[in-house]
Amino acid sequence: DLGAAIDMCQKSLLEHHDRDTQRLLKTMELEKKQADTLAYQDDDKAEEAKQEGNEYFRNKDFAKAVSCYEEAVKRAPKNATIRNNLAAALCKIMDFNGAKREIEIALELDSKYVKAWARKGDIEILMKENHKAMESFKKGLAIDPENAACKEGLRKVTAMVNYGQANMSEEERKERAAHALADPEIQAILQDPVITQVLRDFNENPNAANKAMADPSVRSKIEKLIASGILQTA
- Using one digit for the tens of pLDDT, what is the confidence trace for 89-147? 999 999 999 999 999 999 999 999 999 999 999 999 999 899 999 999 999 999 999 99
Q: pLDDT value at position 64?
A: 98
Largest CA distance in the chain: 79
Give CA–CA dist 184/203, Å, rounded. Answer: 26
- The C-alpha angle 67, 70, 80, rounded to 5 degrees, equals 140
Residue 56 pLDDT exceeds 90: yes
Q: 168 versus 72: which is more confidently predicted?
A: 72
Q: pLDDT value at position 10?
A: 78
> Which backbone phi and psi does 52 adopt, to 5 degrees?
-65, -40
Its sign, for the CA torsion 151, 157, 160, 164, is: negative
Query: 75 and 46 in contact (C-beta within 8 Å)?
Result: yes
Q: pLDDT value at position 29?
A: 80
**Closest listed residue to residue 234, CA positions, set 178, 172, 165:** 165
Query: 79 and 42 in contact (C-beta within 8 Å)?
Result: no
Residue 166 pLDDT exceeds 80: no
pLDDT tens-digit profile of 7-49? 877 777 777 777 877 788 788 788 878 777 778 789 999 999 9
Give CA–CA dist 35/25, Å, rounded. Answer: 15
User: Cβ of 54: how many Cβ atoms within 10 Å?
Assistant: 16
**Closest listed residue to residue 136, CA positions, set 157, 118, 156:** 118
Query: 164 and 229 in contact (C-beta within 8 Å)?
Result: yes
Give CA–CA dist 129/183, Å, rounded. Answer: 9
DSSP E strands in 20-69: the ranges are none
* Gyration radius from the chain CA atoms: 24
Which contiguous run of DSSP H or E holds residue 42?
none
